């Protein structure tokens, strides 16, 4: 008898459960699939079979209406606490057993989700490539010679390889969007503060978001809707009215030619092919991205890098960290408190400078990533290609925006290419509706 494979969506999984599939049988099949993949870089911790059996036994009676994630296998980035599983942030010297689950994880479990493991990442969530880990690097699901994208590398690969239907990442500078683009997935980065970040090892606490990887916008939204909501014990939690995805947006901005930064003909061809699929009734307006791109540069080139040092620089001795992590944190010493306030003042001015653009568009549509580096390129230069990957992602949280990355038309060489919808805080539902429509026309 052939072992069951993971259905591609939550609705299909629930239909399979209704037809007789059991969570135990599914988890056994997923374990066998993981073993067959022979990729030791995806997970940093997998529960023992007895622990998974206990999680299955704790499930309530099958009722998808009441428990929308009933029996859904979920992978969790290893900088987010899960009760009974170690948190390491990909730094062995930091490993510890948390007192309990992060609220976001607890809410998933209460909705019926089954946590199948903790995933690899760029150490302390500092990077966009997925190679800044002392552990084996997760293999990109579409091109093993290319980077998997970071920092949420293992989470993206787990979904792309059919080991989980949902996976949690974190996204401070693009870590929930870049890996989605490079593995052909949806990456939902909610409005800042919409999902509690308590129980997350901080990277930049004022900007950190828990993100969701999935095969469809509907599944990503299902995970987001369960996790969203205020937390009165989280100083970064902010109230938000979610709404539900309704009519797609019809006024989209795109980068003007001077702001379209794409490396190579393959990336450009995919972008052009994707734009050609947008419905004729949608208004496309070329936007001057100067204030957005300047904002992006503030994150690593300005004093904001010092927030990373303040957040986790003291957690372990520097020599216990990955060499690139050490290099990033060392940059904080260049800046003073005066520089930090100057950065905040400049950010306020840049936010004001974007208002004319938002008067012309409902959402900004950009390439998720301008490049798709090979592992060899990262070995030769661990900084440059990583910085390039953040071109269209680094400004989003600084500007207090929501974003949704979706697969678009593939490159002529067959590799995945992604686009991202970006909108003002609270426009998450409208981005979801628009992303669903874009995926339909580009299928």
pLDDT at 442 over 80: yes
Which tokens go with 304?
Answer: 């904001």
- What is the structure's pLDDT at 443? 87
Question: What whole-number distance in Å separates Cα of residue 238 and Cα of residue 201?
Answer: 19
Q: What pTM does this model have?
A: 0.97
Name the pLDDT band for 318 (thresholds 50, 70, 90): very high
Which tokens go with 277?
Answer: 């699929």
- What is the structure's pLDDT at 1? 38
Q: Which of 77, 118, 155, 197 is catalytic?
A: 77
pLDDT at 2 over 60: no
Q: Which of 101, 151, 152, 197 is catalytic?
A: 151
- What is the structure's pLDDT at 88? 98
- The tens digit of pLDDT for each residue in 398-432 reads 999 999 999 999 999 999 999 999 999 999 999 99
Question: Per-residue pLDDT averaged across 291-319, rounded?
Answer: 94
- The tens digit of pLDDT for each residue in 357-402 reads 999 999 999 999 999 999 999 999 999 999 999 999 999 999 999 9
Q: Which of 175, 197, 216, 237 is catalytic?
A: 175
Q: Would you call 175 a catalytic residue per the annotation? A: yes
- The tens digit of pLDDT for each residue in 122-140 reads 999 999 999 999 999 999 9
Name the pLDDT band for 6 (thresholds 50, 70, 90): confident
């Amino acid at each position: 008898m052939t072992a069951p494979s993971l259905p591609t969506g939550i609705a299909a999984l629930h239909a399979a459960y209704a037809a007789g599939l059991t969570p135990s049988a599914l988890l056994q099949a997923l374990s066998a699939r993981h073993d067959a993949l022979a990729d030791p870089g995806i997970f940093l911790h997998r529960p023992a079979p007895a622990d998974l059996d206990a999680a299955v036994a704790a499930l309530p009676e099958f009722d998808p209406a009441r428990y929308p994630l009933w029996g859904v296998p979920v992978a969790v980035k290893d900088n987010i606490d899960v009760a009974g599983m170690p948190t390491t942030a990909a730094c062995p010297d930091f490993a510890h057993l948390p007192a309990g689950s992060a609220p976001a994880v607890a809410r998933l479990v209460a909705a019926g989700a089954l946590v199948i493991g903790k995933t690899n990442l760029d150490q302390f969530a500092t990077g966009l490539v997925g190679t800044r880990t002392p552990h084996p690097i997760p293999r990109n699901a579409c091109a093993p010679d290319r980077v998997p994208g970071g920092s949420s590398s293992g989470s993206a690969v787990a979904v792309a390889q059919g080991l989980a239907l949902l996976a949690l990442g974190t996204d401070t500078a693009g870590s929930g969007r870049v890996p989605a683009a490079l593995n052909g997935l949806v990456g939902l980065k909610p409005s800042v503060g919409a999902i509690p970040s308590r129980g997350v090892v901080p990277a930049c606490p004022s900007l950190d978001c828990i993100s969701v990887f999935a095969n469809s916008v509907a599944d990503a939204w299902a995970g987001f809707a369960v996790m969203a909501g205020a937390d009165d014990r989280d100083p970064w939690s902010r109230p938000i009215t979610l709404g539900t995805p309704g009519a797609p947006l019809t006024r989209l901005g795109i980068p003007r030619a001077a702001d379209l930064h794409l490396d190579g003909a393959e990336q450009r061809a995919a972008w052009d092919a994707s734009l050609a699929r947008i419905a004729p009734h949608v208004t496309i307006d070329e936007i001057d991205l100067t204030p957005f791109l300047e904002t992006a540069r503030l994150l690593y080139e300005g004093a904001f890098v010092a927030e990373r040092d303040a957040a986790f620089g003291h957690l372990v001795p520097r020599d216990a960290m990955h060499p690139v992590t050490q290099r990033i944190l060392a940059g904080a010493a260049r800046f003073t408190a005066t520089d930090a306030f100057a950065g905040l003042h400049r950010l306020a001015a840049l936010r004001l400078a974007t208002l004319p653009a938002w008067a012309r568009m409902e959402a900004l549509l950009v390439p998720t990533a301008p490049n798709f580096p090979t592992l060899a390129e990262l070995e030769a230069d661990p900084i440059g290609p990583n910085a390039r990957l953040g071109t269209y992602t680094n400004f989003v949280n600084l500007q207090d925006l929501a974003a949704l990355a979706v697969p678009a038309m593939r490159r002529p060489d067959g590799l995945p290419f992604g686009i991202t919808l970006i909108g003002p805080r609270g426009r998450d539902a409208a981005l979801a509706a628009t992303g669903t429509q874009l995926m339909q026309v580009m299928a």
